[in-house]
Amino acid sequence: MSVVIAIDGTSASGKSTNSKLVARELGYVYVDTGAMYRTLAWYCLEKKVDVANDKDVALACRTWKTKLVCVSADGLSSVRLLVDDYYPEKEIRTPATAGAVAQVAAIPKVREWMKRTQRDCVRFGNLVMEGRDIGTNVFPETDYKFYLDAKLEERSARRAADGVQENLAARDQRDSQRATAPLMIALGATVIDNSRMTSVETSGRLIQEIKQRMKAVGVPKAS
């Protein structure tokens, strides 16, 4: 049975960076669930689907032609969601896509589809999966749940350093008050406030705790 490491948390809490570092260290497959939602948002914009219309977005999600693939680059294996055999790597990072993804991600039927698809990623082996509802909704049964957070001013500074201006307080509120699979700390999750920690320190703590738990339950060491 595949091991799933769930790394949830607030925006700009370092989920992506640290999930990749953990996945590389353990030799696990990295899954960015946020990219999947962004891919749907991009697709809706491309197809002129009104992202404010829940039924239209749900229909698009139900009928688009997608498949999961696992690719390796720079020592990291990661899962991608292809649309018509295409991965919109740059397109999903545009301001337009970023502006649409919050509406798309809040739709219950979309989250149901995403949950099924994300759970299917175990076909690729052991996973390090980052997102906002992995430990609470997608893989609540996993024994490896973590929640990253940092003070609002620190997270805002990180976003600004990346050249992105975003109202993180409003984003936090939307995510936590979403009717379906809201952002919350999963039962049994280890909470890490990395406001004063580097990525190396944060990932180091994650890896240490993961290995301790694996040793305790007899999970074989990753290569």
* Separation between Cα atoms, residue 135 and residue 153, nearest integer Å: 26
Span(s) in the chain for CATH 3.40.50.300: 1-28+126-215, 32-124
Low-confidence residues of the chain: pLDDT under 50? 223
> Which pLDDT value is given to residue 223?
46
| CB of 141 closer than 8 Å to CB of 67 | no
Residue 154 neighbours by CB under 8 Å, 6+ apart:
195
CATH 3.40.50.300, domain 1-28+126-215, yes or no? yes
The residue written with tokens 């919109």 in the block is 88
- Superfamily (CATH H level) for 32-124: P-loop containing nucleotide triphosphate hydrolases (3.40.50.300)
Q: What are 157's two structure tokens?
A: 């500074």
